[in-house]
Amino acid sequence: ECTSRTIMSTTLNSIGEITKEKETWRIRVRCLRVWFKHVLNQPEMRQTMEICIVDEHGDKIQATIPKWHISKFEEIILEGNFYVMGNFEILDNTDDYSATPHKCLLKFHNLTSVKLLLENLNIPRYMFNFVTFDELRNNHEYNSRLFDVIAEVYDVDELVKMDRDGNQLTRIKIHLRNLSGDTMHCTLWNKFAMQMTEFWKSNNDVPVVIILQYAMVKRWGAHVNLQNSLFASKLMINEDVGDIALTRYRVHVRVEDNTGSASFILFDPQVFPIIGKRAADLKHSLDMAGDGDSFPDELEQLVKKSYLFKLDIKRFNLNQRIRVYTVAKLTQDATIISKWCNAVCDDMTTTKDKSPVESSAIEPFIELDTSIVSSVGDSAKGDELTPSSNKRVAVDNNLEAFVDEDFHSQQSCTRKNAKVKVEKIDI
C-alpha cells in the first residue's frame, strides 16, 4: 500500500465529477488496463506508466505516472484490482490518441495515494467500448481516440518483415467481418502480428474471433484501416470473456412457400430496417415497463409479409446437415422479389427436361413468407458476438454479389396469413 501524508478529503467522488477546479479528488475504482510508454524498440527505456480506471458508475479516466514514480506503483496497480485513489494533478486530456473521452487526465505526484481494496466492487472486469465499422468510417472523432473492436477473422495475409529507419518491424494484414457482414482490414504490428500468425497457423479448423482493445484508425482518403496502437493495445483471440454482455436480438423465423418450410435466423442489422428499433432500444423499453422478459410487440411487424432472403450458408450447415440458416440480407421490395422469382422459375422450367436424378439436385426457389417468429431478445455473450461457423470458410464472391442490385430501394410487400409462436431463448 502506498499512502500519502494527507488525504484532503474523506468523501468519495465519482470520476464524472472530476474537473480542474481542485486536485483533492478521492475515487474508488477498478483498474482496467496498464501499459507503459517507452522509447521505440527500447522497452527498458520507460517514459510513463499509463492506467485506465473505471468507477461504479461506469465512468472511465486515464491516469499517467511519470517515470520517477513507476517503481513506487508498478507492483501495486495491477489490472483487475480495486483501489481507492486520491490527490492528483489534473491535466487537460489532449493526448493524440486518448483512451477515454473524459476531458481530464490524472497525473500522479508525490502526494498521490493508492490503497488496495480486498473486497470486490460491482464493477465488471471488462468494460469494452465496441465500435462498428460504419461508425469508424463516418465519425472522424475516432481519428484521435482509442476504441475496441470485435470481429471474426476470415482471412490472414502473409507476415511481412521490414526495416524502417534502422528498426526491424513485423506486420500482418488481417481481414475482419463483423456481425452485420461488414468487412474491414486491420494491420497488426510486431508482437501482435506474431501472436495472430501463430494462432492462425495452429488453429486452422476453428472460427477465429478477436477483440482488439485500444485500437486506432488510419485514413488514406476514403480508405479506412484498423491497427493496434503503439503501447496501449491488447489482442484477445478466441478468449472466453465471461462477464461481458451485449444486447442484441437473434430472431428465429419459420418461412414457407408452397413447396415446404425452413428455419432462418435474423440478427439486429436485418431486423432494424424493418421495425426501426435496435435490440438495445427494445430491451430498454421493456425494462422501463418492468417487463424485461416479455416478447417485444415490435417484432410482430416481421410476420405476414413476403421477403427475398440472401442466406449465409456455412460449410457446417452442409457437412452436419444443420437446417437452420443465417440471413445475410433481406428485402421486401416487390420488384426485386418478382425479378428473382421469375428468373428462378424460368430456370426450373428448363430443368423439367432433365432426368429425375439431375432435377432432384436442384431446390425450387419461389416467394417466401414468414410464418413463425420463434424467438427473441437476448444478451449475447462473448462467444455469440460474431456470425461464425465451426470451420473457417473463404468468402464466396458469387454469394456476396447475390441480391445486391437495388437492394435498398423503396420497400413494398405482399401480405399472407401467418401465425406467431413466441419462445424465449437465452444464449
For residue 188, being part of any structural domain is answered with yes
pLDDT at 405: 39
CATH of the domain at 35: 2.40.50.140
Please check the confidence at residue 50 and state whether its pLDDT lies above 80.
yes
Whether residues 22 and 111 fall in one domain: yes
Q: Average pLDDT for residues 159-177, to the nearest whole number?
A: 90
Whether residues 112 and 27 fall in one domain: yes
Q: Which of 133, 251, 130, 250 is nearest to 181 (CA)?
A: 133
Please check the confidence at residue 390 and state whether its pLDDT lies above 50.
no
pLDDT at 376: 35
Please check the confidence at residue 418 and state whether its pLDDT lies above 80.
no
- Report which of residues 281 and 310 the model is more confident about: 310
pLDDT at 372: 39
Q: Average pLDDT for residues 251-268, to the nearest whole number?
A: 81
pLDDT (tens digit per residue) in 217-237:
999 888 899 999 999 999 999
Q: Are strands 104-107 and 89-92 parallel, antiparallel or unpaired?
A: antiparallel
Q: Are strands 26-39 and 42-54 parallel, antiparallel or unpaired?
A: antiparallel
Binned at pLDDT 50, 70 and 90, residue 67 comes out as: very high
- Report which of residues 66 and 379 the model is more confident about: 66
Whether residues 97 and 161 fall in one domain: no
Whether residues 191 and 100 fall in one domain: no
pLDDT at 112: 97
Whether residues 41 and 81 fall in one domain: yes
- Report which of residues 319 and 35 the model is more confident about: 35
Q: Which of 111, 87, 70 is nearest to 22 (CA)?
A: 87
* Global pTM exceeds 0.85: no
- Report which of residues 402 and 345 the model is more confident about: 345
pLDDT at 280: 62
Q: Average pLDDT for residues 32-42, to the nearest whole number?
A: 88
Q: Are 274 and 331 in contact (CB under 8 A)?
A: no
Whether residues 80 and 175 fall in one domain: no
Whether residues 41 and 79 fall in one domain: yes
Q: Which of 175, 176, 326, 306 is nearest to 251 (CA)?
A: 326
- What is the rounded CA–CA span in Å between residue 169 and residue 306? 54
- Looking at 308, 330, 345, the residue that finishes a domain is 345
- What is the rounded CA–CA span in Å between residue 234 and residue 412? 46
For residue 83, being part of any structural domain is answered with yes
Binned at pLDDT 50, 70 and 90, residue 267 comes out as: confident
For residue 207, being part of any structural domain is answered with yes
For residue 28, being part of any structural domain is answered with yes
Whether residues 148 and 229 fall in one domain: yes
Specify the DSSP class assigned to residue 245.
-
pLDDT (tens digit per residue) in 198-217:
999 988 778 899 999 999 99
Q: Average pLDDT for residues 36-50, to the nearest whole number?
A: 87
- Report which of residues 351 and 153 the model is more confident about: 153
For residue 383, being part of any structural domain is answered with no
* 289 CB neighbour count, 10 Å cutoff: 9
Whether residues 138 and 172 fall in one domain: yes
pLDDT at 126: 87
- What is the rounded CA–CA span in Å between residue 336 and residue 409? 9
Task: Please state which of the ranges 69-78, 345-354, 389-398 shows the lowest mean pLDDT.
Answer: 389-398
Q: Are strands 183-189 and 246-257 parallel, antiparallel or unpaired?
A: unpaired
For residue 423, being part of any structural domain is answered with no
Domain count, the chain: 3
Specify the DSSP class assigned to residue 206.
S
- Report which of residues 29 and 321 the model is more confident about: 29
- Report which of residues 89 and 355 the model is more confident about: 89
Please check the confidence at residue 368 and state whether its pLDDT lies above 80.
no
Torsion from C-alpha of 199, 200, 202, 207, nearest 10 degrees? 100
Cell numbers given for 54: 473505471
- Looking at 209, 237, 265, the residue that finishes a domain is 237
Q: Average pLDDT for residues 141-167, to the nearest whole number?
A: 90
For residue 370, being part of any structural domain is answered with no
What percent of the chain clears pLDDT 70, i.e. is strictly above it? 72
Q: Which of 138, 153, 215 is nearest to 183 (CA)?
A: 153
Q: Which of 219, 220, 232, 137 is nearest to 178 (CA)?
A: 137
**Averaged pLDDT score across all residues of the chain:** 77
Specify the DSSP class assigned to residue 289.
T
Q: What are the helix (H) ranges across 11-118?
A: 70-73
- What is the rounded CA–CA span in Å between residue 170 and residue 162? 6
Whether residues 112 and 146 fall in one domain: no
Tell me which residue range forms the domain holding 214: 133-237
Whether residues 174 and 267 fall in one domain: no
DSSP string, 93-135: ---TTBSS--SEEEE--TT-EEEEE-SPPS--S----B--HHH
Q: Are 46 and 36 in contact (CB under 8 A)?
A: yes
- Looking at 320, 345, 370, the residue that finishes a domain is 345
- What is the rounded CA–CA span in Å between residue 31 and residue 19? 20
Please check the confidence at residue 357 and state whether its pLDDT lies above 70.
no
Whether residues 183 and 263 fall in one domain: no
Nearest 5°: CA angle at 208, between 202 and 213? 110
What percent of the chain clears pLDDT 90, i.e. is strictly above it? 38
**Site of grid cell 432462418:** 264
- Report which of residues 140 and 35 the model is more confident about: 35
For residue 85, being part of any structural domain is answered with yes
